[in-house]
Amino acid sequence: MAEAARSGLDIFRIFDALNNVDQIRPAIEAVLETDVAVAEAALCYTGNMTSPGETLYTLDYYLRLAEQLVEAGAHILAIKDMAGLLRAPAAAKLVTALRSRFDLPVHLHTHDTAGGQLGTLLSAIDAGVDAVDVASAAMAGTTSQVSMSALVAALEGTERDTGLSLDAVTRLEPYFEAMRKLYAPFESGLPGPTGRVYHHEIPGGQLSNLRQQAIALGLGDRFEAIEDMYAAANRILGNIVKVTPSSKVVGDLALALVGRKADPSDFEANPGAYDIPESVIGFLNGDLGDPPGGWPEPFRTKALQGRVTRPVETELSADETAALAANPRQTLNRLLFPGPTRDYEEAVADFSELTVLETREFLHGLRLDEEVEVELVKGKKLLLSVSAIGEPDDRGMRQVVCAVNGQMRTVSIRDHAVKSTVALAERADPSVPGQIPAPFAGVVTLIVEAGDEVTAGQQVATIEAMKMEAAITTSVAGTVKRLAIGHAQAVEGGDLLLVVE
Amino acid sequence: MFRKILVANRGEIAVRAFRAATELGVGTVAVFPYEDRHAEYRLKADESYQIGDKGHPVRAYLDIDGIVAAARSAEADAIYPGYGFLSENPDLAQACETAGITFIGPRHEVLELTGNKARAIAAAREAGLPTLTGSEPSDDVDTLLAAAADATFPLFVKAVSGGGGRGMRRVDDPAKLRAAITEAMREADAAFGDSRMYLEEAVIRPRHIEVQVLGDATGHVVHLFERDCSVQRRHQKVVEVAPAPNLDPDLRARMCADAVRFATHINYVNAGTVEFLLGEDGRYVFIEMNPRIQVEHTVTEEVTDVDLVSSQIRIAAGETLEQVGLRQEDIHVRGAALQCRVTTEDPSNGFRPDTGRISVYRTPGGAGVRLDGGVVYAGSEVGAHFDSMLTKLTCRGRDLRSAARRAYRALTEFRIRGVSTNIPFLEAVISDADFLDGHATTSFIDERPYLLHHRLPADRGTKLLSYLASVTVNKPNGESRTTVTPRDKLPADDATPPPAGSRQRLLALGPAGFAADLRASRAVAVTDTTFRDAHQSLLATRVRTRDLVKVAPTMARLLPGLFSVEAWGGATYDVALRFLKEDPWARLDELHAAIPNVPLQMLLRGRNTVGYTPYPWR
């Protein structure tokens, strides 16, 4: 957070997936420590506050929560209605109560999933809400936020006019509309509003993901089944607040149960008879904290019976601490997302920074004979084109004839749709010291036989590449279990030569 | 003069010989094994013939009978051996003599003498040249170990038939002598079929100075001054210069005179090189004579204006030095020249020779730049069979500094893609201050490990192209369904700096004051989520920084009154790394620069910030 504030982030909206203020407090403190950034503490809204049947997520519940957030030192209170469940009367009631009880401004965030959230915003504004979240109209509606132009127009000339120019707001819309078309492959496929959200309570961000997952499961046309199972899973897990990552727990369970066509009540009674997703076990183990409504028993005890649970926290090592100080950004990437960071760093090594590419080329590549410009840095432009794609060879490689700045160049590209018919050389596993690899490409001559006894450091092969000849030794003592190549053979670096056990 | 010369070699030296022969009006013949059928040098000869058996390319170049037979059937009346392969093998010279073909080089008796280092050193002593102390040659490890009993370390283990650094080891620690002898013997046996070794006193931090000589059949010998080949790695020369910088004129005269005396003493005919080690104390010793053209002959040609290969041919054809126009008093050094051997060795990877297909091959040119190549071109394959040299770059200048400056410029002009090269390493070497001051010794590279850790060429063109080609082939996101370009939809923009906005209010009031001001204000404050939650909820968070940064300055100018722009956190962090291949921090930097007047807002989980699992507490 300190690094983000240093990098120009001014407002931090902080929440916890189970509305646990203990989890939020350290983050608020970290923002206060910066002395320049704003701490906006969010209470996650779920359920139906104004319904007489709502016994858990009541106005009292939210006010108790807000009180703790205020005590923790927040500058602003936020209502984070991630599924778009906050109805207009509830908004008025909640905003009025929060503003009369506390001196803090209130910032309202909702999703327009059911289609009526402009009504909620206007009702909250009448009740005095200080700030609201909206999105450019071309990027608004359904699982996203309410349209900015609709809000600005609605308040224009009123005493609560936003001060934004409706003309300016709408002048930006064509850009976002065109931009959105570029990303069509990632559209969630939700054609319009859905009132089903009041039943399943799936957050806007997750709803689009779940629809894609349903298609992958062959349930694209029976999404209701997933919605119903999501609602059932939520009930079984104790009617929890659903927002990343707790929403993922519910979603994972719903997909697992739909996948095996399970009866939710049988699962609830006999969870031991089911494979349970790791995220669900982690949740039940308390990895995310305690849920507001308490733990669902005896389900929880039965579900955890005999399941291995992992320790949830490790210490930051001295090396990591030092790296955080020396190189905070890269170290944070690696600590927060080790796998994706590795993927990213590999992509940069292989392809250089891909941010210089326009999105159309980044997503779809080039059309034949169409020349594209890529500006690497100011004053340095590459002109790239593809003029022909060859037939795949038996390794699935295609020769692609390209041009760089008008000069022809051929690159060899693996077509993943074509199966390679060539047996791949066996690769040595670097974590097994007895698997002796070729240190680099060259011609290797083995000088031991299967069954030979070897000592650590003994030479087992010779490698020759161009003018160099080098000895290959074994780092472990033992018996030569098998030879992986012929006695003299051309190999690539990393190929397995022999195994010592 | 000859009618037709067959060159029993490959690559740049074959091309070099073809060029000289063509200038003399002599026909040229190339021989090549199957594996070299695509090599460029083949096409530079008037005729070319395949020799040897598929799968054994090196053997083909070492097959005396095959080469002589090829010369006969091509009706060549001379064979030019180049360097390496059979160039120092007396048997080829002998076989040529028997076949009535002229071997362009010294007589086989001379090759036998120079090829046997012990005999060569004995001959040098006879001629009055200073030499190193060493042991008798032997192929028995224990005999050699016994001979080392009272030797001083460091010393060299050297193969009697060695060359080019093969079969040679420097030993600093007596305990490691046995291993070094064994290893060198195996290498020499494999390379030369002769495992005999001798031990030799090592000179510490010497310079490697060699004198070029030419002798004719009438017993006249001239020298063409010296070269400094001190910049070496594992006894392989890397950069060579002529003349040797900072060499005392008296010393130069003595070394050149010694070289001529030695060549005369052994009745040397044709081109040869007498190699010396020059110690820090100004003492020098003879080490060996190379009875052939050398890789680095180019620098001598550049500073003396004498065509060495042409001279070799003319002398072999029977001309005298006088007829060739080489009188010692007429041979002068003008300016300085420097040669870099451009290879596929990757210095940051232990100088491992790289192999693969060359995708781009662009070379430098211009005044004072000479290239001797002839093997590779864009599209050719660099295999593991031969030497990893791609080309030789030789540059001339008024002095070493200007030659080096020109060479540096020429190196930066190279564009070689598809294989690693040593070009960045060469750039580092020839821009080193000690090198430019003429203070390089044979330890130059070993003493400067940082030379190996140069910046790799970014090679962005190739990398971006391989990404685009891969996406074009594999279509991970299908075909593009739109032809609209968002940038065209931006409102006409005045590009003025954005007006002060709510961020300036935050900076003025501080966080608490800013919040109080929000509470006191009647206007509804508006947060724009288009940059974060909107695309997270509609487009799986896939909108790239590029598309946000394009519109961001216009937003900053049109909507300075926004309360905040939500732009970071939530899923943006991991999606950036995972799918967009962007650094999320770079997104933050760029948006902050583009929107300096509206606060940036992020969504943060208290438990785990932007991640999904618990992380260690500080």
CB under 8 Å to B147, separation ≥6 — which residues?
A: B135, B136, B138, B199
**Closest CA–CA distance from residue A396 to any residue of chain B (Å):** 11
**What is the radius of gyration, based on Cα positions, of chain A?**
30
Q: Is B528 on the interface with A (CB under 8 A)?
A: yes
Q: Which residue of A has its CA nearest to B488?
A: A175
Going from the N-terminus, what domains does chain B have, and what CATH number goes with each?
4-104 (3.40.50.20), 125-132+205-326+441-447 (3.30.470.20), 133-201 (3.30.1490.20), 335-438 (3.30.470.20), 498-603 (3.20.20.70)
Report chain A residues whose CB lies below 8 A from the CB of B35.
none
Contact B524, A124 (CB under 8 A): no
Q: What CATH number belongs to A435-500?
A: 2.40.50.100
Rounded average pLDDT over A181-197: 91
Per-residue pLDDT for B375 more than 60? yes
Judged by CB atoms closer than 8 Å, whether chains meet at B519 and A103 is answered as yes
Put simply, the chain B residues between 153 and 172 with a CB less than 8 A from any chain A CB are: 164-166
Instruction: Reply yes or no on whether B519 is catalytic.
Output: no
Report chain B residues whose CB lies below 8 A from the CB of A468.
351-353
**Residues A144, B515: Cα–Cα separation, whole Å:** 26
Give the per-residue pLDDT at B429: 95
Judged by CB atoms closer than 8 Å, whether chains meet at B482 and A178 is answered as yes
Chosen from A156, A346, A355 to mutate, greatest number of chain B CBs within 10 A: A355
**What is the radius of gyration, based on Cα positions, of chain B?**
33
Rounded average pLDDT over A82-101: 98
Q: Is B279 on the interface with A (CB under 8 A)?
A: no
Q: Picking from A305-314, B56-65, B399-408, B448-457, which range would have the lowest pLDDT averaged per residue?
A: A305-314
Q: Is B187 on the interface with A (CB under 8 A)?
A: yes
B409-424: pLDDT as tens digits? 999 999 998 898 999 9
DSSP 3-state of B208: strand
CB under 8 Å to A72, separation ≥6 — which residues?
A: A21, A24, A25, A28, A29, A41
Strands (DSSP E) contained in A183-270 are none
A400-409: pLDDT as tens digits? 999 988 888 8
Give the per-residue pLDDT at B461: 87
Q: Picking from A326-330, B39-43, B153-157, which range would have the lowest pLDDT averaged per residue?
A: B153-157
Give the per-residue pLDDT at A310: 64
Rounded average pLDDT over B591-609: 92
Torsion angle (degrees, nearest 10) of CA B407, B409, B413, B414? 30
Chosen from B473, B489, B585 to mutate, greatest number of chain A CBs within 10 A: B473
Q: Which residue of A has its CA nearest to B190?
A: A469
Report chain B residues whose CB lies below 8 A from the CB of A185.
477-478
Q: Which residue of B has its CA nearest to A17?
A: B605
Contact B71, B79 (CB under 8 A): yes
Domain residue spans in chain A?
2-132, 197-304, 314-351, 365-423, 435-500
Give the per-residue pLDDT at B400: 96
> What's domain A2-132's superfamily in CATH?
Aldolase class I (3.20.20.70)
Task: Tokens for B80, please give them.
Answer: 């030019």
Rounded average pLDDT over B314-318: 97
B99-128: pLDDT as tens digits? 999 999 999 999 999 998 889 999 999 999
User: Predicted confidence band at B438 (pLDDT cuts at 50, 70, 90)?
Assistant: very high
Triad B588, B592, B598: Cα angle to 5°: 125
The model carries a pTM of 0.76
Report chain B residues whose CB lies below 8 A from the CB of A311.
none
CATH domain A365-423 topology: pyruvate carboxylase f1077a mutant fold (3.10.600)
Q: State whether the Cα torsion A207-A213-A216-A219 is positive or negative.
A: negative
Nearest to B29, CA basis, from B5, B12, B57: B5
Q: Which residue of A has its CA nearest to B544?
A: A359
Report chain A residues whose CB lies below 8 A from the CB of B461.
382, 384, 404-405
Helix-helix angle B423-430:B400-413, to 10 degrees = 160
Give the per-residue pLDDT at A469: 65
Higher pLDDT, B53 or A419: B53
Q: Is B201 on the interface with A (CB under 8 A)?
A: no
B521-572: pLDDT as tens digits? 999 999 999 999 999 999 989 999 999 999 999 999 999 999 999 999 988 9
Judged by CB atoms closer than 8 Å, whether chains meet at A164 and B481 is answered as no
Rounded average pLDDT over A51-57: 95
Catalytic residue, chosen from B292, B314, B396, B532, is B292
Tell me the CA distances in angstroms from A286 to A21, A311, B316, one per residue in order: 15, 11, 91
Nearest to B523, CA basis, from B509, B543, B506, B502: B502
Q: Is B360 on the interface with A (CB under 8 A)?
A: yes
Tokens 């319009």 belong to residue: A192
C-beta neighbour count of A300 within 10 angstroms: 19
Judged by CB atoms closer than 8 Å, whether chains meet at B352 and A465 is answered as yes
Per-residue pLDDT for A427 more than 60? yes
Q: Please give the class, per CATH, of domain A197-304.
A: mainly alpha
Report chain B residues whose CB lies below 8 A from the CB of A12.
601-602, 604
